[in-house]
Structure 1
Amino acid sequence: IQINGAELRGCKIKYSSSSKGFGIFSSNDSPHDGIHMVVPLDLAITPMRVLEDPLVGPECRSMFEEGDVDDRLLIMLFLTVQRLRKSSSWKPYLDMLPNEFGNPLWFTADELSELKGTSLLRATELQKENLKSLFDDKVKKIVEKLLDIDGVCESNGVRFEDFLWANSVFWSRALTIPFPRSYVIRQPRQTEGSSSSTETGDSSSDPPDEEETIWIEGLVPGIDFCNHDSKALATWEVDATGSTTGIPFSMCLVSVGDSFVGEEEEEEEKEICINYGNKGNEELLYLYGFVLEENPDDTLMVKKPITIIHPHPLCHDNLFRILQIHYPNTCLQCLLLKSSLESG
């Protein structure tokens, strides 16, 4: 990523642990402006990037325009193809990503049995069935076709696990990125694989101070190595004008407050984390493959039979009686924060 314009300003990417994989850590020269990393948006893996790819772009664009694939599937197909292409220019980045994930889609039968009694079990079973059906009906043929474009057979075959991996990479690492409209509506790239390959005709020009924002899902290599902390002291921002980072159309990892200022005085490196959002443990496990022992946002589904509920003043009495008579086993489901139930 540094070859293609990314800058590590007072941080390093290194292996964190078997449960976290790689992470971002402060270095001895932590910046006084709080900006730890800057990544040009040209490096982001987005639907735009896939459609502009010189190898698979034309075929993907045709399928996209025909409605055969959507934005998310485009990225998953791209990840699957690049993983199977041994000569892929994305190989250094992909080699740093996990080979397996801790979310329930990767659970063994014994591990899944521990989810009995939760809504997560059924959601996992349905999702895996849907992904397997999508792979058999569409994905396998498309990936094989894309791998044959350059006439070089580099794969021993496309497996469901390859697509499952790409699906997990997307859902665990993708961000919803606020792209400036002037960045999205531009000339396509010419080549791939080098610092010059990611440059476009107008991406280096000074963008206007205020313009329309277009939100697009994508992966930002480098930034996506940030692990989660509910009390994170860093966040990511998009710098469209370059006024913050000096690099227009970029994403930066920046400290919240002065938490890392003066870090050079400490011998121990400090991991730089971001907050993935206010998510309960079921959602964290389903998307990212981990749970928090003390999660302030953890939730509990409470079911209340309709037969013991008193009608609301705005609810028609006759309608409520019909529900009680004909649907006596109906339950209303309410999602509550576990912390709200501590006092009973």
Structure 2
Amino acid sequence: MAANDISADVTVVSIPFSLAVTPDGAKKALQETLKGFDDVTAGALDSFSERQLVCTYLCLHWIADRSRTVLRHGPYLDTLPSPERLMTPLHFTPNELEAFKGSNLYGATLDRRRDWEAEWAQCRDVVAAANPTWGEAFTWDRYLTTSTYLSSRAFPSTVLSSTPTLHTTPSSYPVFLPGIDALNHARAHPVSWVVSDRTSTSISTSASPEPSISLVIHTPTGAGSELLNNYGPKPNAEFILGYGFSLPNNPDDTIVLKIGGPSGASAPVPADVKFEVGRNARGAEPVWDAVLAAIGAQYGDEEEDSAMETETSVEDELCAADMLAEMAQNLYDRLPPFPPANVAELRGQVVDMLDHYLEGQRDILRSLVAFAQEKEARALQRAKEEGLDVVEEGEEEEEMEE
């Protein structure tokens, strides 16, 4: 909270780079803490992911002697929420998680738990090899807590570049910025990240000559009001899975789709390709192209003459439109009901997250069905203009009944 009125364009928090928790710094601390067992830890630490390095480093603050100088983020850990206050799906009760069954988020939660448990087991084995007592204390709950801190509080390392940005890159990695990460999210809240180096005079002072990262808020904040950050545009699926909160009527909501079909090098759509569609069918065109390509690969005939190719193209479009609409409708029908039958057993915050999430998913899928119907109407109009005789599905069913 702001103790006094704060005008616009003011730096509200700043920390030196040296205070950040980075994978490289975590690895060096682990090497020092586990010193004496280099034959066990050397190769293992090299194989750790950035999350494993940072989370193992943070966990050691709870199970090793904090007087070790390399374990220097204990005071920061003490300021973070206790495990009981974490609200991501991996902290849901079984009944709460079951309420999401049938959604992409339910499957993503199971995938995340499987992946994180495998990481934890690998880290625990390395710690236990160096110190069996520490290994016993290196519990799944502790690793889950630090992993949740990482998913909900870390920023991409791109914020530490000379031109700070929240956009990730293939080479970026998560970093903790103690103090800065205490600010909650407000969508579209105008903020700027500013990096100062030793030669900068805009923010650095004689008391902090080393490079620093600062957050500037561009709107006034009244005394007693909460200081807010902007985590960037994210869908509720990401907010719930990674942060443990959601936004009502989130304009940035999306659904992730995969297009089934033949696999292999010759497949029209690679099996690992995913498509993200937002509200008002934003991003649906690539999905349409993929469905159309899959239909063409399944029913196309390269030996058809040019006259037949035009007719087949229209037929492919009609078939693709029907397939896309059916896919979206099936996903819609699979979504869990709201409110769930066991709503009385769920915490209020979980009920809100479920409500906000399902509203976005249903709205997107309805818009995708409408998108497919529009494609179908255009294909029928094209067939009419080209004088092609196309029997619509409803008419075909009536003829069969007769």
What TM-score, normalized by structure 1, do the two folds share?
0.65
AA of the residue aligned to 2:240:
L
2:188 corresponding residue in structure 1: 231
Residue 78 and residue 166 in structure 1: after superposition, are their counterparts in 2 closer, same or farther (change >3 A)?
A: same
Equivalent of residue 41 in structure 1, options 5, 10, 17: 17
- Contact persistence 2:183–2:229 (CA under 8 A): yes
Q: Is 1:52 aligned to residue 28 of structure 2?
A: yes
Is the CA contact 1:233–1:272 (under 8 Å) kept in the aligned structure 2? Answer: no
Residues 216 and 249 of structure 1: is their aligned pair in 2 closer, same or farther, counting only changes over 3 Å?
A: farther
Is 1:74 equivalent to 2:53 in the alignment? yes
Residues 275 and 321 (structure 1), Cα distance of their counterparts in 2 relative to 1, 3 Å cut: same
How far did 1:134 drift? 2.8
Superposed, 1:133-152 pairs within 5 Å as 133-136=118-121, 138-145=122-129
What amino acid maps onto 1:288 in structure 2?
A: Y
Total equivalences in the alignment: 272
Contact 1:304/1:332 (8 A) holds in 2: no
User: Structure 2: how far apart are the matches of 1:338 and 1:244?
Assistant: 46
Residue in structure 1 matched with residue 150 of structure 2 by the alignment: 170
- Matching residue's letter, 2:155: L
Q: When the two structures are superposed, what TM-score results if normalisation uses the length of structure 2?
A: 0.56
In 1, the alpha carbon distance for the partners of 2:214 and 2:237 equals 29
2:113 to 128, 139, 146: 128
Residue 296 of structure 1 pairs with residue 248 of structure 2: no
Shift in CA distance, 225/146, structure 1 to aligned 2, threshold 3 Å: farther
In 2, Cα distance between equivalents of 1:317 and 1:75: 46
Kindly, what percent of the aligned residue pairs are identical? Answer: 23
The equivalences for 1:1-344 within 5 A come to: 25-28=1-4, 30=6, 34-53=10-29, 55-56=32-33, 63=42, 67-85=46-64, 87=66, 89-100=72-83, 101-136=86-121, 138-145=122-129, 157-178=137-158, 179=160, 215-240=172-197, 241-246=199-204, 247=208, 248-256=210-218, 259-260=219-220, 266=222, 268-300=223-255, 315=293, 319-321=297-299, 338=363, 341=367
The verdict on how the C-alpha distance between 1:26 and 1:155 changes in structure 2, with shifts beyond 3 A counting, is farther
Q: Quote the Cα distance in structure 1 between the aligned partners of 2:28 and 2:245.
A: 35
| Structure 1 alignment gaps of length 5 or more | 1-24, 182-213
Asked if structure 2 preserves the Cα contact closer than 8 Å seen for 1:103 and 1:285, the reply is yes
Alpha-carbon contact 1:311-1:317 (below 8 Å) kept: no
Contact 1:174 1:218 in 2 (8 A): yes
Whichever residue aligns with residue 56 of structure 1, its letter is T
Structure 2: distance between partners of 1:320 and 1:311: 14
Give, in angstroms, the shift of residue 250 of structure 1: 0.5
Answer whether contact 2:2 2:225 (CA < 8 A) is retained.
yes
The one of the two structures with greater contact order (alpha-carbon pairs below 8 A, sep at least 6) is: 1
Q: Does the 8 Å CA contact 2:55/2:143 hold for their aligned counterparts? A: yes
**Residues 29 and 160 (structure 1), Cα distance of their counterparts in 2 relative to 1, 3 Å cut:** same
Moved more, 314-323 or 216-225: 314-323
Q: 1:52 to 1:86 in 2, by over 3 A?
A: closer
Q: What code does the residue aligned with 2:100 have? A: L
| Compared CA separation, residues 311 and 118, structure 1 to 2 (3 A) | closer
Cα distance in structure 2, aligned partners of 1:68 and 1:27: 46
* SS of residue in 2 equivalent to 1:55: helix
Deviations 1:68-99 (A, max 9, x none): 21222111111111133363542221111112
123-132 or 110-119: bigger deviation:
123-132
- What is the CA distance between 1:337 and its match in structure 2? 10
Distance 2:139 2:93 in 1: 18
RMSD: 4.3
Q: Do the aligned partners of residues 311 and 42 (structure 1) sit closer, same or farther apart at CA in structure 2, a change above 3 Å counting? A: closer
Q: Aligned with 1:92: secondary structure? A: helix
Task: Compare the two structures and name the one with the higher strand fraction.
Answer: 1
